[in-house]
Each structure stands twice: as C-alpha cells, then as structure tokens.
Amino acid sequence: MPNYDNSSVLTPNRKKESIKLEPPSLYTVKFWNDDQTTYDFVAWVLVEVFQKNFDEAYEIADKIHLTGFATVGVFSADVAQTKVKRVHQEAQSEGFPFKCQKEPII
C-alpha cells in the first residue's frame, strides 16, 4: 500500500462560506365539493391517498359537503403535487369531476 504524504496534497484556497439552509416550502391540499362525486369516493381517497383513518375521512368528507371545501393535509411541493395528481387520476378513472388543488402556505 502506498504511503501518501498529506503535506503534498493541494487544496483550493477558499473562504469559508456559511450556508443558510431553509426548510422546504409547504403547500396545503384542498378538496372541493361538487354535486356528482360520491361521498364514499371522497372518503376512499382520503384513506388510500392521504392515509386518514375512516373516522377522519368521513369527518373531512362532511366538512367538504357542508362548507364547500376542506384542507386535507400539508406537504412539501413535490408530495402535494403527487397527491393531487393521484386524486385526479383516481377520479377520472371512476368518471367523477372531483377537483383538488395544492396551495402555497404564505
């Protein structure tokens, strides 16, 4: 095994920079009420895509029905976008016009 002498290693002459790390931007995912998407479908999506338990899912579905919308979670941008896309794919495959969207938290 060769014997390396550390004194001969060249290192760049750089100033030490302090890097400020910030947490990722967060987004809410909101579900919107419509007159065609079934209550059971909304609850199923909340359980399958958002890992809500059945009680939470039906409570959120009630809120959507009564108020017109509900926030179903807070996520990083990529996770929120992936969940929105999955919900839209599931809704389309079932023939529902169901809409959800991600919104930045300001």
End-to-end CA distance of the chain: 58
**Residue 46 CB partners (closer than 8 Å, separation 6+):** 52, 56, 57, 60, 61, 72
Percent helix / strand / coil, the chain, rounded to 5: 40, 20, 40
| Residue 37 C-alpha from the chain's centroid | 22
Give percent above pLDDT 90 in the chain: 76
Q: 73 falls in which pLDDT band (50, 70, 90)?
A: very high
Each residue of 1-46: pLDDT tens digit? 555 555 555 556 667 778 888 888 999 999 999 999 999 999 999 9
Range 35-106 has CATH code 3.30.1390.10: yes
Structural domain boundaries of the chain? 35-106
